[in-house]
Amino acid sequence: MGAWIAKNRTTVIVSVAVIVAAYAFYYLKNDIAPSMYVSAWGYAIPLVLAALVGVIGERSGVVNIGIEGQMLVAAFAGFFAAAYSGSLLVGVLAGIGSGLILGGFLAWTTVKWRMDQIIAGVVLNIIATGITSFYYQPGQLLPGLMPKFDIWPLSKIPLIGEVFFSGTSIFATLAILAAIGVHVALFHTRWGLRTRAVGEYPSAADTAGINVERLRLINVTLAGTLAGCAGVYLSMDASSSFERGMVAGRGFLALAIMIMGAWRPLRALAMAIFFGFINAVASQLQAGGSIDIPPQLTGTLPFVVTIVVLAIAAGRVRAPGAVGQPYVKGDQ
Amino acid sequence: MSETPTVADQAAAPPPSSGGTSGDKKPAQPLAYLLTHQSGVVILVALAIALLVGAALIRYQGVSPWYAYETIIREALLVDGGLTRTLQKTAPLVLTGLAVVIPLRVGLFNIGGQGQLIFGAMFGAWVAYAAGGLGFLGALCGMVAGMVAGAFIGWIAGVLKATRGVHEVITTIMLNYIAAGVTWWLVTGPLQAEGSKTSGIPQTELIPDAARVGAVAGIPIGFVIALALAIACWWMLSRTTLGFKLNTVGANKHAARYAGININRIIALSMVFGGGLAGLAGALEAAGTLHRFEPAIGGTLGFDGITIALLARANPLATIPAALLVGILRTGAPGLQFATGIAPEVVDLLLAIILLMVSIPVLGKWIFRSRADKVAAASTSWGN
Amino acid sequence: MSTPENTPTPVPADTAPEHLEAIATSDAVLELPPEKSGFGEGNVGEVLLDLAGLTKSFGSVRANRDITMHVRRGEIVALLGENGAGKSTLVNQIFGLITPDSGTVTVKGDSTPIKDPRDAIARGIGMVHQHFQLVPVMTVAENMILGHEPTRGGAVLDLDSAREMVRSLSAKHGLPVDPDAEVEDLPVGTQQRVEILKALSRSVDLLILDEPTAVLTPQETDELLGVMKELAASGTSIVFITHKLREVLAVADRVYVLRQGAVVGEVATKDTDARGLATMMVGREVVLSIDKADATPTDTVLTITDLHVLDDRELGAVNGFTLSVRAGEIVGVAGVEGNGQRELVEALAGMRKVVSGQMTLGDLDLTKANPHQTHHAGVGHIPEDREKHGLVASYSIADNLVLNEFDQAPYSKSGVRQFDAIREHAEAVRTEFDIRSSGVQQSAGSLSGGNKQKVVVAREMAFKPRLLMAAQPTRGVDVGSIEFIHRRIVDARDAGAAVLLVSAELDEILSLSDRIAVVHGGKVVAELPARGADRTEIGRLMAGDH
Amino acid sequence: GCGGSTGSSESSAPAGSAAPGAPTDDSNCADEAVFCIGLVTDTGKVDDKSFNQSAHEGALEAQKQTNGFYKYIETQDAKDYAANMAQFTNKKYDAIVTVGFLMTDATLEAAKANPGTRFIGVDQGYDPAAVPGKNVTGLIFPEDQAGYGAGYLAGLMTKTNKLGQVLGLEIPPVQKFAKGFEAGAKAANPAVTVTTVYHPAGDNAFNDPVWGAGEAKKQLAQGADIIFGAGGNTGNGALQEVAKAKGAGTEVFCIGVDTDQWDTVPAAQPCLITSAMKLITEGVTETLVTAKDGDFAENQTLGKAGLAPFHDFESVIPADVKAKVDEVVKQMEAGTLQTGVTL
Ligand SMILES: Nc1ncnc2c1ncn2[C@@H]1O[C@H](COP(=O)(O)OP(=O)(O)OP(=O)(O)O)[C@@H](O)[C@H]1O
Ligand SMILES: Nc1ncnc2c1ncn2[C@@H]1O[C@H](COP(=O)(O)OP(=O)(O)OP(=O)(O)O)[C@@H](O)[C@H]1O
Ligand SMILES: [Mg+2]
Ligand SMILES: [Mg+2]
């Protein structure tokens, strides 16, 4: 423990400082702070899920800029499957399934066909926009609401319980569990070691007897399910409708979150919440009306803050070494 | 067979030796290769497959594919003024394509074309209006202003990348939002046209006639500028020492440093170039199409630029046919809906399929039973 | 099992470049009496590995032609050949990294094709690759267990037992490494040690070592040779690739010599010597020790005073380094790798910030100069890592030859590159430095290692530098090319250049230098004339024993 | 309203459609007897549940009533407005509907170039000096009045004296609704505070229900008990969020916009007390029908705006509140009450 703290001094200091500040604000501005935290977390949920898709893909050596498209199709498929079948479960499964299929598409084209990963992602996004717009149907309704619940006893913790564990939903809970799960899996399991090796230095993995192509195929495909969850969350949980273009750039923001999180799941979780919080601050500035800043300018706050924070603090985070490159064995 | 360089090999970012010194081989001329080389055939086959898939899609809508394609071609090229409109649409696409190509050569992925363009359009429109009294000179000022504004946005991303190591993908995404917000604020506030203040319409003053960029004999001047810049970019990249520096940084940063190249400056410069080109695209849209700034001026030009750069495999000259293809499809789409009722999104699907087909490296293998074709490596720059 | 054939395969005249044609037909090619072949020393047993008719082409390059060879249990077989002869290609086929065009690989009687490394590992083959196959951002322990991870409950990594494994392996083979160190932070010699331990971490019947000693110090090399002998004694077969004949003679039982992708000879080491092996490889006599005139040094060109430089981890690497080099002399910097040599050279080349101290070239201050300025001040720099710093692989030879002069006349006029001038320059240099390629437009990345190095050497010498810095100039280069590069370095000295030679190769230092500076801990611990220098004394100084 | 979604607006259906006995194609539009209607959307689609859809439905209805022919083009790029209108004028369409204030200038120019064609610009207020002739009318709506009425109702209903508005992009029609709402609320209840958030500029400002829902949730948490959702699907997201909240329909309420959203957003029914309506569909139909008959109000047509029925909340809203709101609405219609909204 002591050694871990020594090794991660900056992380520990930053985390403690952030947590202290968060509680201070919570107790000092009790009229608005809780709602801002809730809003921040609500904003962060799809970003976390989507950023994890990016993390898994890039840790395996595959850039996924098609997350936006994966989410869009999943939101579409989930919503309409639920509407037509009359079952939320069917919708959720359809959404996750569509994420899986698109993950498979990205995996197959980039790994098997060695298509440029950026191009594959761009293609995926265009197709997703086209299809969901083309086959959009107005006037459909979800058969019901996604369940909300409290996670006792965590929900009793001041602030944290209120924000993360009460009145929460499956996907909100999943976002936390997935971030922890992917972190543990990536850094503490056999799969994770192999995945990181494949993403950093595939020929080292290959010569160690690891099937690089297969691992990449599996990872990128399965990560699609998380993109599916993010999409389903948007159309079935955070709102109850599907609209064209409703992902509204969240897939790309997730990539930014992934990079800000230095390709680490828990850090990405922290960054998504941070980003969500700045968003809440931005709309609070607008709503508060005390200072008269045009909403267009307050709206840019999260983006300005992100850039400034990165410029001051970030320094050089390093992408997985082999990201973007198809693995070609010696003789091909 | 695999010994001869293919289009892809030549165009891959960065290209081997940027053409040039060849005594025994032809220099990299994508158009020539397109016509004479194996990859040219691969591209044609890819296009044909894409059109067939598109045909199936259109058929499924209950419309004759033949009629649909004919309509697009007719609307985009044959009807009165169609060609002019197509070229008008192509011009900014060439530029936003180049705005992605140049940083890509240095190993940077500029997805900020949209923001750079919007910013360029805003300031281009404003300066052209303010300097409208100068006539032609005013138009020129507008274009320079647009370029500078776009370049400024690009420069921010470039400098942060070079000096602070902030990933350009983050900054360019963020700057897209910031540019949209700032221009929106300007156009509803300080720079809003006097006449629009009561109605609240977000638009700037109209650029006076004399300072607009029109067309000569049906050829938009903007298109000529875009063509000239595409050729200039190609020349710069393949023939000049500056191009050599850009390519070298993209090919091997360490070697570039060793060779005495100031990497940071080149990285920032490439983004300045990219931003400037996108900004110019915006200024041209303002001066040539809408004659003022409106927030919707950018359309999807910035993001189309990515598609075009990838279609062109990071080759400046190839952005011309790639942009023309997009221009034709987009110009023909409304006419297609008018004639057949097919929603214009079909064109995006078509474009996606074309990009997919053209970019499948194994397609060449399937056709020629030869080694897999190498495709421009956009994503190999991602990790840097 | 029949005795494998070993008739040398003549190089087909139609594809061989002229300059090699003479070699192929020269009588220097050794033909061995059949009865002698296949029997080395030691406890050799049955044939473990049998290659029959292996052929592999890359496009028009025929990297391996009809190769037939075998290795017996407990035998150490060396593969010798010039750069690009096809050694790595051959062993990569045994390890399943490359699929042969034709021919069979039989391991322990099983001749089903080896699909991939996984397959090779399953059959008891281990390999140390020519290029490191280590994940730089992972720890030694993590690298070591990759592919055969100890786990708890089948999924969770058991890093404790991994560390334990590293420690016990280290101890057993006398190759110390820290299991928790991140690989990218380690000096190359240590990385190589990790590679070797990694290969030994799985029990193997056949161990392939592709130039494992290229980056090792003499001591480390000796340790490795010891390990190899032990392994062979316990029944492990070893295929050993190296360019250093001393090592071949020290451990190998038999040697196969490759040229132009074909086996041109096979010999038992007890029947040959260094000169014989070199001749077999290159096809002519090779001068193994350079004969040079005494130095006639004149003015001091380079003065380094109390220099301090940090490494990538911001730790002091060069700590108070003081040295001067005069025109017309070669000063060799001897030292175990990782004692600040790399940082010193990079600082001199303007690629690394100087913390304090001073460097001057004549009366020019280089302390704050950037690479551009140092180059134009007359500093030639043959970098240690040619693939990373020295070359742009995707560029042509011609472009690489003007990599740091590209914006100078006559290669550029007002910012426009002059391709005719560039080509003419390249043609001339290519002839002068004997760069073997299809032409000056061939991409540098497709050259063999020795020829890549020649491109770098040629570029740095062509502009007649006042100071030539050569860092590990012959690493991984075959004997023929070593001879050539050494000759050129001495020529540069004789033409009046000051030469700073940095090498981990003590032999190289001893044979080339006029003066030797031994470094340890980032500073010079002794300066002595090369003539009459004592190997063991220098070795002791290098180890920090002073 | 566009309630009941007749399916007439499926995007995959051919754009041209005809009632029985009506012309089946546009080859005879030049013919006096054949009434051809064209519609050009703002960048958006005819099933956007917003102004494009309303106008589209109005045009469809007009086609039925006039026994004419109707076709639309969905604009993808703001720079195509002129070209898209030209598709119709080339075929000598009789009336062209252009949707959205962004097309103001383009519509005037097309009207100038095609004096024989009648143009109806939805949400377009023209400067009388710029209007080229009698063939163009801007169909505008007193959104501020609808907003005022809704705000007045909300001001009387609120228990917490806190109201919220979740809005789309900050553009004139939306601003008028919002400022009207605030003015009405303050007029009814000076103690009230109104929290207003516009979607930050972006391409999807009207298509981001997730953002709308998030903002609504936040405003509820900060004590607002009535939320006005005005901004296409973004606003709808807010309505749906309120409908899911604890106390929906008893303690917290929502107010819709544009059409009677009781029909268009059924998921909002648990909280939807009324909608601030702007009757684009009816306006477009009526204007087109009069256009066919020839008596076309040049320059400007004032469409209707008002409050939608209370539906299930008829019994929830106290009678005196209803009476007061009724009174205010009547005064606005009569012109005796000004909302005081300027942009
Ligand atoms: N910049 C940051 N701001 C706030 N919290 C952070 C930041 N970086 C990391 N954290 C938090 O610190 C904790 C540890 O993160 P880190 O990524 O360092 O894990 P780790 O040390 O690798 O964990 P393990 O010991 O399980 O391998 C996490 O809870 C993470 O959310
Ligand atoms: N993947 C490849 N593609 C094309 N050519 C290759 C490839 N790998 C090797 N070659 C070529 O095959 C020949 C043999 O290369 P190989 O690496 O086997 O040589 P080597 O004997 O190991 O040389 P060195 O001593 O420099 O390591 C060389 O001409 C090389 O350029
Ligand atoms: Mg850590
Ligand atoms: Mg080799």
Q: What is the pLDDT along chain D (343 residues), one digit of tens a residue?
A: 333 333 333 333 344 454 556 677 777 788 878 899 999 998 888 988 888 999 999 999 999 999 999 999 999 998 999 999 999 999 999 999 999 988 998 999 999 999 989 999 999 988 888 888 889 999 999 999 999 999 999 999 999 999 999 999 888 899 999 999 999 999 999 999 999 999 987 778 888 999 999 999 999 999 999 999 999 999 999 999 999 999 999 999 999 999 999 998 889 999 999 999 999 999 999 999 998 887 777 778 888 899 999 999 999 999 999 999 999 999 998 989 998 888 7
Residue C32 has pLDDT above 80, yes or no: no
Q: What mean pLDDT comes out for the span C22-43?
A: 38
pLDDT at C29 > cutoff 50: no
In a domain, A230, yes or no: yes
From C448, C452, C478, C479, the mutation candidate for ligand 2 (largest count of ligand atoms within 8 A of CB) is C448
pLDDT (mean) for B237-252: 95
Q: How far apart are CA C514 and CA C533, in angstroms?
A: 10
C24: confidence class by pLDDT, cuts 50, 70, 90: very low
Q: Is the pLDDT of residue B3 over 50?
A: no
Asked if residue C319 lies in contact with residue C308, where contact means CB atoms within 8 angstroms, the answer is yes
pLDDT at B35: 39
Name the residue among A113, A131, A256 with its Cβ closest to that of B173: A256
Number of independent structural domains in chain A: 1
Please check the confidence at residue C288 and state whether its pLDDT lies above 70: no
pLDDT at residue C83 is higher than 90 = no
In a domain, A27, yes or no: no
A61 falls within a domain: yes
CA nearest neighbour of C342 among C302, C368, C312: C312
What pLDDT score does D24 carry?
A: 76
Instruction: Name chain A contacts of B111, Cβ cutoff 8 Å.
Output: 252
d(CA C260, ligand 2 centre) in Å: 10
Neighbours of ion ligand 4 (CB under 5 A): C 88, 130
Residue A143 contacts residue A88 (beta carbons within 8 Å): yes
Pairing of strands C47-58, C102-107: antiparallel
Residue pLDDT, tens place only, D70-90 = 999 999 998 999 999 999 999
Q: Residues in chain A whose beta carbon is closer than 8 A to a beta carbon of chain D?
A: 31-32, 34-36, 38-39, 42-43, 46, 133-139, 141-142, 145, 234, 238-241, 243-246, 248-249, 280, 282-283, 286-289, 295-296, 298-300
Residue B360 Cα, gap to closest chain D Cα (Å): 29
- Which residue has better confidence, B33 or D159? D159
- Are C115 and C61 in contact by the 8 Å Cβ rule? The answer is no
Q: Which of A190, A191, A193, A207 would best serve as a mutation to test chain C binding (most C beta carbons within 10 A)?
A: A207
Report yes or no: A31 at the C interface, CB cutoff 8 Å.
no
> Which one is predicted more confidently, B359 or C290?
B359
Residue of B nearest to A321 (CA): B383
Whether residue B233 has pLDDT greater than 90: yes
pLDDT digits (tens, 9 = 90+) for B261-301: 999 999 999 999 999 999 999 999 999 999 999 998 999 99
Q: From chain B, pick out residues whose CB is under 8 angstroms from the CB of A304.
A: 174, 178
pLDDT winner (highest mean) among B189-193, B240-244, C277-281: B240-244
Chains C and D touch (3+ CB pairs under 8 A): no
Predicted confidence (pLDDT) per residue in C416-428, tens digit: 999 999 999 999 9
H-run or E-run covering B183:
helix B168-188
Q: pLDDT band at residue B364, thresholds of 50, 70 and 90?
A: low
Q: How confident is the model at residue A212 (pLDDT cuts 50, 70, 90)?
A: very high
Inform me whether the pLDDT recorded for B123 exceeds 90: yes
In 3D space, the residue among B1, B6, B3, B13 whose CA is nearest the CA of residue B376 turns out to be B13
Over the stretch B188-207, which tens digit does the pLDDT of each residue have?
989 999 888 888 889 999 99
pLDDT for the residue numbered C11? 38
- Alpha-carbon gap, residue A304 to C535, rounded angstroms: 63
Q: Atom 24 in ligand 2: which residue has the minimum CA distance?
A: C83
Query: Model confidence over A247-306: pLDDT tens digits?
Result: 999 999 999 999 889 999 999 999 999 999 999 998 888 876 666 788 888 889 999 998
B370 CA → ligand 4 middle, Å? 26
User: Whose structure tokens read 């058929």?
Assistant: B59
- Average the pLDDT over A169-190 and give the result: 96
d(CA C361, CA C327): 11
Query: How many helices (H) and strands (E) in chain C?
Result: 17, 23
Tokens of B45: 């086959």
Whether residue C14 has pLDDT greater than 70 = no
Chains that touch C (3 or more CB pairs under 8 A): A, B
pLDDT per residue over C467-523, tens digit each?
Answer: 999 999 998 888 888 889 999 999 999 999 999 999 988 889 999 999 999 999 999
A136 and D11 Cβ atoms separated by less than 8 Å: yes
Q: Note whether residue A125 is domain-resident.
A: yes
Q: Which residues pair with D193 in a beta bridge?
A: D162
Percent of chain A with pLDDT over 90: 64
State how far the alpha carbon of D14 is from the alpha carbons of A20, B183, B342, C429, in Å. 61, 38, 7, 71
The residues near B80 (Cβ < 8 Å, ≥ 6 apart) are none
Q: CA-CA distance, D176 to D190, in Å (whole number)?
A: 20
Q: Domain range holding A51?
A: 47-313
CA distance A331 to chain B (A): 11
Question: In chain D, where does DSSP find H-type helix?
Answer: 51-66, 81-90, 104-113, 143-157, 172-188, 209-221, 232-244, 261-264, 280-293, 319-334
Instruction: Answer whether residue A322 is part of any domain.
Output: no
Tell me the pLDDT of chain A averaged across its residues. 91
C389 secondary structure, DSSP code? I
Cα distance from D83 to chain A (closest Cα, Å)? 23
Q: Using pLDDT thresholds of 50, 70 and 90, give the confidence band for residue A42.
A: very high
3-state secondary structure of B205: coil
A217 found inside a domain: yes
Ligand 3 centre to CA of A8 (Å) is 6
Q: Do B252 and C370 touch (CB under 8 A)?
A: no
Lowest-pLDDT range of B157-166, B214-223, B375-384, C310-319: B375-384
Q: What is the ipTM of this complex?
A: 0.87
How far lies B62's CA from each of A71, B51, B333, in Å? 30, 16, 17
Residues counted in chain A: 332
Angle at A32 between CA A30 and CA A38, to 5 degrees: 105
The first and second tokens of residue D265, run together, are 């957003």
Q: Using CB atoms, pick whichever of D53, D222, D237 lies closest to residue A35.
A: D222
Average pLDDT (A22-38) is 90
pLDDT (tens digit, 9 = 90+) per residue, C33-75?
Answer: 333 334 444 445 789 999 999 999 987 788 999 999 999 999 9
Within-domain flag for A12: no
Q: Residue A71 domain-assigned? A: yes
Of B42, B170, B171, B109, nearest to B377 by C-alpha is: B109
CATH number of the domain to which A208 belongs = 1.10.3470
Q: Which residues pair with C325 in a beta bridge?
A: C302
